[in-house]
């Protein structure tokens, strides 16, 4: 979508439903990225992948929601007959809209083929892991120079952990101590 940064995540779940293989594709997104105003979650039963089925639906909803917010889209509501699919157990491979203004991405990144020219970010030079040191030609591993560990610094005591109800309703204040009872007559008479 132009001018708005959107963040999202796709997913695909495989399951058996009434003895048949089934997939559930989903996509959740929010926009604008820095200060979200809208969140859209789409689940499509029978969708092959989240990036090709649920994502375009969520993008359409998000695109129109943002356009309505800017006054550039007026939603027309009309009654439609119920949808009917000749073969309800056939996978939905892809959903697309003719007048969609979204940027065509790479589709389902979760199951994407890496041979399609995806940009891969590699670590820079000097990033050799030192989890398991290399052995020399004799099979010996050189000892590492001991680096002294930094001393622990005292920190403030942690706040007591509040339970679910305390977080929901707030902390209950401890009751005020009862006032001391007035001295009895016997105690007053004995002080003379």
Per-residue pLDDT reduced to its tens digit, 144-180: 666 666 777 777 777 778 888 888 888 777 788 888 8
What are the domain boundaries of the chain? 1-74
Give 121's pLDDT tier (boundaries 50, 70, 90).
very low
Residue 52 in this model has a pLDDT that exceeds 50: yes
Would you say the pTM of this structure is higher than 0.75? no
Which residue pairs from 111-114 have beta carbons closer than 8 angstroms and sit at least 24 positions apart in sequence? 111/12, 111/49, 111/51, 112/51
Mean pLDDT of the chain: 75
Q: Which two tokens stand for residue 64?
A: 């129109």
User: Distance between CA 169 and CA 171 in Å, rounded?
Assistant: 7
Most confident of 52-66, 91-105, 146-160: 52-66
Contact 25/10 with Cβ under 8 angstroms? yes
């Amino acid at each position: 979508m132009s001018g708005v940064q959107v963040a999202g995540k796709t997913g695909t779940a495989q399951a058996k439903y009434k003895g048949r293989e089934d997939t559930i594709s989903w996509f959740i997104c929010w926009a604008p990225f820095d200060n979200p105003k809208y969140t859209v979650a789409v689940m499509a039963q029978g969708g092959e992948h989240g990036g090709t089925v649920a994502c375009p639906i969520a993008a359409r909803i998000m695109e129109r929601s943002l356009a309505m917010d800017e006054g550039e889209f007026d939603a027309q509501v009309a009654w439609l007959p119920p949808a009917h699919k000749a073969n309800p157990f056939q996978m939905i491979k892809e959903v697309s809209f003719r007048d969609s203004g979204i940027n065509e991405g790479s589709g389902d990144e979760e199951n994407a083929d890496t041979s399609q020219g995806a940009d891969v970010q590699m670590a820079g030079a000097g990033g050799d892991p030192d989890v398991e040191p290399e052995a020399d030609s004799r099979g010996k591993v050189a000892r590492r120079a001991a680096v002294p560990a930094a001393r622990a610094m005292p920190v403030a005591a942690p706040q007591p952990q509040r339970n679910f109800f305390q977080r929901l309703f707030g902390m209950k204040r401890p009751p005020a101590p009862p006032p001391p009872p007035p001295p009895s007559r016997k105690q007053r008479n004995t002080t003379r």
